[in-house]
Amino acid sequence: MADYQARVNPELRCDTVLKACEWQSLSATINKIISRDNPPSLRQTVLMITT
């Protein structure tokens, strides 16, 4: 579902699909920076998951 939404609505915020703790830990793992305020787009999140 998230991959489809990322194609249809790429600028949608990822917190519509993931909990805050999920996208924050994913972002911290991939980017090596902890960001609590600014969730990435759903498209960016799907790309992070697939790498």
Domain spans in the chain, listed from the N-terminal domain onward: 2-50
> What per-residue confidence (pLDDT) applies to 34?
84
Residues found in the chain: 51
Going by C-alpha positions, the residue among 39, 48, 46 that lies closest to residue 3 is: 46
What value, to the nearest 5°, has the Cα angle with vertex 22 and ends 45 and 43? 10
> What per-residue confidence (pLDDT) applies to 48?
92
42 touches 9 (CB < 8 A): yes
> What per-residue confidence (pLDDT) applies to 3?
86
> What per-residue confidence (pLDDT) applies to 37?
85
- Per-residue DSSP letter, 17: T
Q: What is the pLDDT of residues 1-51, one digit of tens each?
A: 788 999 999 899 999 999 999 999 999 999 898 888 889 999 999 999 998
Reported pTM: 0.83
User: What does the radius of gyration of the chain's CA atoms come to, in whole angstroms?
Assistant: 10
In DSSP terms, 47 is beta-bridged to none
